[in-house]
Amino acid sequence: MIKNLKYVTSYNRKDTSKVMLLEIIHSIFLVVPSGVLLVIIWELFSVHPNISRIWTVVGIMFFMLIIQFIVASKAMVTSNIWVYELSYRLRINLGNRIQKFSLGFFKQRDPGEIASVILQDVANFEGIFGHSFGNLTSAVFGTCVLSIFLFIYDWRLALCLLAVIPLIIPFLGFANYLFKHLGEKQIIARNQVGAKFLEYVQGIRHLKSYGITGEKNKTLENAFDDLRKKSIRMEALPGPFLVTTSIFFEIGFLLMIALGLYYLSVGSITIPVLITFLIMGYNLYNPMKVIMVDYFTIRYMNESLKRVIGVLKEPTMESMENLIPEKFSIEFNEVNFKYQDKLTVRSLNFLVPEKSMLALVGHSGSGKTTIASLIARFWDVTEGSIKIGGIDIRSINQKVFYKMIAEVFQEVYLFDDSIYNNIKIGNPEATQEEIWEAARKAQVLSFVEDFPEGMDTRVGEGGGKLSGGQKQRISIARALLKNAPIILLDEATASLDPENEIYIQQAIQELVKSKTVVVIAHKLSTIQKAQQILVLNDGEIAEKGNHQELLNKNGIYARLWEIQQKSHGWKVH
């Protein structure tokens, strides 16, 4: 826990020391007035009380009270600013870090989980740490200062009060153990609720269309129920152990009274000392109770912090050397790739010369999308290397790399903005003329003309107000505007109506002109002109050549070709 707190507070070391110092001063001024109380009691019990001395002490106590008030206010404001500053930095760092993760990271992790780390876990840190850090610091120092006073007055009674502490350690240890494990489970359940809720809201359209909102709602209810149970367990199970520790404090206090009375009876202490112990002794335990409660909340917060730091420490995909290629050939050298432990593509060796087209063909699950994703560096290869223009893609400057590649995949994500702005994403610096030109070439204008607001028409969340073919044409326009030298294309013509299909084919012809193209082909008729075709089988290259060479081989490709010729428009997978 200390390590995690050190990690976070390192964002603002200067203010951390300042807050600690203020809290220490605050705790000293909090307990010192009760320390000088003995002087008043002493005077009151003397035969001739020195009233002016009593007033001086009262004056000192009043002065300390004012200082304590000023320091406490300052500590509160400073620590709040400090904690909000730390959580602000945490959020910014998380945001910056997330930008550098492989795109594969987002496919692997639940978006709800990532969101809950940024929103919930950081908020947990902010809420708990701001409140408990000051309490804890002042309680620890308050206890130390108070103990020193008590030891000065009578070390035997002070020892009696403190002797209960070792007895409560095993109970605290056990409560701590329970809290850690149950807290971990509660946080997982809480994040599950977030993730399931997000999934439910995002998928509600499809759930409704299949009439299964009720079933999914049940899953959501189960997640809520799980969270309820785990939250109750987390609060209830360590509770009895904490209550037991309070009983030890009461026992310690009673023993101190008994011992004090005995010492008084044998003349070993005076009445003022015993009265001081009765007042201050009870106060000694209050900060300890605060320590216990706040310690457990801080432990709970630590579970959130662990997750935040876990995300901050996830490996990023930064460039090793920041090189910039001048040519745009693509070369695979002995590439193997595993998703987790599953070897998905193996021993891939091929070269796509600059400005030529490579088509990937194969049954569903044979590895076509994985190869395209590896070129786009959604993931890094497990073994071997991929080079662009002779440079390992891991050594290419990241910004340059993402500008070099344009993807037109089946899944098109459009922002809830105008068609014009959605195309502009391809190149935010493009002029109005360039955007209209891209829209024309990608056959976007041919459907935009039917909309009253034309290019200013809002497409709705995720492009929900457009058809699949229309969305794809916008994504081609984006790619055209990007004018990247490498195009990764996932042909999705099978689900489109004939009119849309013709438009998209025309748009693609525009897009791939003079580019290095890797196309995931579903209809073999569209790739006859490709310079190279790779036929994949279970992640390996089964056949390689151009259309005619592969037909001559009379293997898998020739069979697929024959099937597609017979059933016109039939999809390969």
Ligand X SMILES: Nc1ncnc2c1ncn2[C@@H]1O[C@H](COP(=O)(O)OP(=O)(O)OP(=O)(O)O)[C@@H](O)[C@H]1O
Where does this chain bind ligand X (CB under 6 A)?
107, 339, 344, 362, 364-370, 573
Backbone angles phi, psi at 463, to 5 degrees: 80, 25
Q: Under a CB-based contact definition with an 8 Å cutoff, are residues 477 and 426 in contact?
A: yes
Q: How near is the Cβ of 413 to ligand X at its closest, in Å?
A: 17
Closest Cα partner for 176 from 339, 7, 295?
A: 295
Contact of 358 with 534, CB cutoff 8 Å = yes
Minimum CB distance to ligand X, residue 292 (Å): 45
Taking every pair of C-alpha atoms in the chain, what is the biggest distance, in angstroms? 122
Q: Considering beta carbons, is residue 103 or 400 the nearer one to ligand X?
A: 103
Q: Taking the complex as a whole, how short is the minimal distance between the CB of residue 75 and ligand X, in angstroms? A: 50
Alpha-helix runs per DSSP H in 101-121: 103-108, 111-116
What is the three-class DSSP state of 493?
A: helix
Shorter beta-carbon distance to ligand X: residue 109 or 181: 109
- Give the residue with the Cβ less far from ligand X, 143 or 366: 366
Rounded to whole angstroms, the Cα distance separating 67 from 102 reads 54
Q: Are strands 342-352 and 330-339 parallel, antiparallel or unpaired?
A: antiparallel
Minimum distance of ligand X from residue 512's CB (angstroms) = 20
Instruction: Tell me how crowded residue 376 is: count the other CB atoms within 10 A of its CB.
Output: 21
The answer to whether 128 touches 79, Cβ cutoff 8 Å, is no
Nearest approach, Cβ of residue 567 and ligand X (Å): 18
Residue number, 15 or 380, with CB nearest to ligand X: 380
**Taking the complex as a whole, how short is the minimal distance between the CB of residue 534 and ligand X, in angstroms?**
11
Q: With respect to ligand X, which residue has the nearer C-beta, 79 or 344?
A: 344
Output the smallest distance, CB 443 to ligand X, in A.
25
Facing residues of 544 across strands?
Answer: 534
Q: Which is nearer to ligand X, 178 or 517 (CB)?
A: 517
3-state secondary structure of 333: strand
Min CB(456)–ligand X separation in Å: 35
Q: Which is nearer to ligand X, 49 or 569 (CB)?
A: 569
Of 529, 547, 539, 494, nearest to 374 (Cα)? 539
Residue 239 or 365: the one with the smaller Cβ distance to ligand X is 365
Those residues with Cβ within 8 angstroms of residue 445's Cβ, 6 or more apart along the chain or in another chain = 436, 439
Residues 6+ apart with CB under 8 A from 509: none
